[in-house]
Amino acid sequence: MFSSLMPKRKEFFDLLIAHSDRVVASANATMRLVSHLGSESAENIELLVKEIDANEKSGDKIKAELIALLHKSFITPLDRDEIHNLTLELDKILSALRNVANAVGMYHITESTPEARELAVLGADASLRLNRAMTSLADKERRKETAAFCHEIDEIESMGDKVLKRAITRLFQEGTDPWLAMKLHEFYFLLETVLDRCEETAKTIEEILIENS
């Protein structure tokens, strides 16, 4: 009975890594979705949207499992609030990716742009590094590696800011149809929000490294 209140350190990290796996899968699907707008059939686009939604729902189940484990555990490998915050941050990334996918249908976006594709690629790149940071976080001997991944995510987010500014500037310099400009403006910000969420999660990991040094 008492042993059930003391789950192995590995259980928590396995769930966090599984949660970040869903982020990577969803970000990759989002990258494919944005890249293929205008070149894929509506049916294939719909399948990608469903894939992103499925990853978000899978992430919800992992989040619920992790929170349940927190409630029943007497001892945790990290502070309870740290584990809870990480779980919520990963959930926010999945929600941001789902918002991008939903926007394709809501705003009737049928064509991609170079900037949209670049933002989606950066989102997938940041998600992959976040997954690697989550994996190395479980090993105290890999602190420097974890911190390096977090720094790379911060740099990727900064690159995203520059792409966003370029995209918005081009929207209003090329005489784009006002309605299309408004839709793309919102779409770009949704894509950049994914990067913001990844950066916030990386900051949470950095705080954990500092508090557990």
Summarised one tens digit per residue, pLDDT across range 19-70 is 999 999 999 999 999 998 987 677 788 999 999 999 999 999 999 999 998 8
Encoding tokens for residue 137? 């976080």
9-36 and 178-211 helices, crossing angle to 10°: 160
Q: DSSP states of 18-55 as a string? A: HHHHHHHHHHHHHHHHHHHTTTS-HHHHHHHHHHHHHH
Distance (Å, rounded) from C-alpha 80 to C-alpha 20? 18
Distance separating alpha carbons of residues 92 and 88, to the nearest angstrom: 6
**pLDDT band at residue 5 using 50, 70 and 90 as cut-offs:** very low
pLDDT interval class at 72 (50, 70, 90): confident
Residue 77 dihedral angles phi and psi, to the nearest 5°: -70, -25
Q: Any idea which residue has 């939604």 for tokens?
A: 53
pLDDT band at 9 (very low <50, low <70, confident <90, very high): low
Asked if the model's pLDDT at residue 1 lies above 70, the reply is no
Full residue range of the structural domain in which residue 83 is found: 2-211
CATH number at residue 184: 1.20.58.220
Domain count for the chain, please give it. 1
Summary mean pLDDT of the chain: 90
Residue 6, pLDDT > 60, answer no
Q: CA–CA separation, 12 vs 25, rounded Å?
A: 20
Output the pTM of the full model.
Answer: 0.92
How many C-beta atoms surround the C-beta of residue 5 within 10 A?
10
Asked if 126 contacts 195 with a C-beta cutoff of 8 angstroms, the reply is yes
